[in-house]
Amino acid sequence: MPPFAVYPGSFDPFTLGHLDVVQRASRVFERLIIGVGINLEKQPLFTAEERVELIRLSTPHLKNIEIQTYQGLTVKFVQQLGAKIMIRGVRPITDIPAELTMMMANRRLAPDIETLFMIADGELAHVSSSLIKEIAPIADQQTFENFLPKPTVQKVLERLAK
């Protein structure tokens, strides 16, 4: 079993699709580090610290994961951790072209790091953080429960109420 991998993303908010990838990757690797990216150019729904907490609340059953925040190039973060494998969750229809482009760029920057794509489960292939933000103004708790882990649902509803 490879010792560890890194699953980076913005996770704003952490969705059932993200949770699916985390659970599956945690069964493949002895240790999984979830890297919560901080992009100063974007206006996130949740702070990096809040996103870390949402992931923590959604994954108490997984004992081999760690959650860290990072800024800058993702591939550099992965290198700094000493990892050789970066996990990318992809939705088959929408993500593959952009992810392949990013993988090729990362390979040029860090040829020692392999990108492992995990295809989203069929029921979750349409779920994205962007979708959550789009439906937020008209969604209720029951709707969000189809897309978000239970701990995240309440926090999203509270945030939207502000």
Task: List, by residue number, the catalytic residues.
Answer: 18, 42, 91, 129
Helix ranges (DSSP H) in 59-119: 74-81, 96-109
Q: Is 6 within 8 Å of 31 (Cβ atoms)? A: no
- Whether 13 and 38 have beta carbons less than 8 Å apart is answered as no
Pairs from 143-151 (Cβ < 8 Å, separation ≥ 24)? 146/16, 147/15, 147/16, 148/13, 148/14, 148/15, 148/16, 149/14, 149/15, 149/16, 149/19, 149/54, 149/57, 149/58, 150/58, 151/54, 151/57, 151/58
CB 146 within 8 A of CB 161: no
